[in-house]
Amino acid sequence: MTVALTGFNVAPQITKQFPDAVVEANDRAVVVKSGLLFKVAQYLKNTPGLAFDYLNHISAVDYYDYFELVYYLVSIEYNHSLVLKTRCDRNKPAVPSAVSLWRGADYQEREIYDLMGITFEGHPNLKRIALWAGYKGHPLRKDYLE
């Protein structure tokens, strides 16, 4: 049975490592500052106790005044999972890319960039994946008009 680690039992470990990283921790997920996302993710992946070596998926949700990125991490060895979230503001949505940690993030980040308009710094090949170059706008945004 995959043990879903809640924000509460992971947040203390993260705050011990990066004092001001955790913005909010609830029973579902732990929300981290977007600037420190890469360091926290690297910490989560490399510490032996957590060992989140399998990035299940990345989703992006548009909450009108901010975008929320949801990283669903799983550890195959310990069979536990964690939902890591980060928020970036709407007018300059940029988040460090996780491709150097998990190569599986490559196409998912390109898709989020294409449909939601969030740029991922450090992504090797960030361009549209589902739509064609020269397409105006990002369709999955709530304020997208045909």
Which residues would be at the binding site for another protein (CB under 8 A)? Answer: 1-2, 28, 53-57, 59-62, 70, 72, 76, 79, 83, 102-108, 111, 115, 127-135, 139-140, 144, 146
Q: Which is nearer to another protein, 20 or 143 (CB)?
A: 143
**Closer of 60 and 88 to another protein (Cβ):** 60
- Residue 110: CB atoms within 10 A of its CB come to 21
Minimum distance, C-beta of residue 53 to another protein, in the bound complex (Å) = 5
Place of tokens 């955790």: 22
- Residue 21 or 72: the one with the smaller Cβ distance to another protein is 72
Q: How far is the CB of 60 from another protein (least distance, A)?
A: 8
At position 58, the amino acid (one-letter code) is: I
User: Shortest distance, CB of residue 73 to another protein, whole angstroms?
Assistant: 10
Question: Are the C-beta atoms of residues 109 and 120 closer than 8 Å to each other?
Answer: yes
Kind of pairing between the strands at 30-32 and 22-25: antiparallel
Task: Compute the distance between CA of residue 116 and CA of residue 67 in angstroms, rounded to an integer.
Answer: 9
Tell me the closest approach of the beta carbon of residue 9 to another protein, in angstroms: 18
Q: Report, in Å, the least distance between residue 19 CB and another protein.
A: 28
SS3 (DSSP) at 42: helix
State which residue, 34 or 80, has the beta carbon closest to another protein: 80
- Is the Cβ of residue 20 or residue 146 nearer to another protein in the bound state? 146
CA–CA gap between residue 106 and residue 88 (Å, rounded):
19
Cα angle value 73/107/138 (rounded, 5°):
105
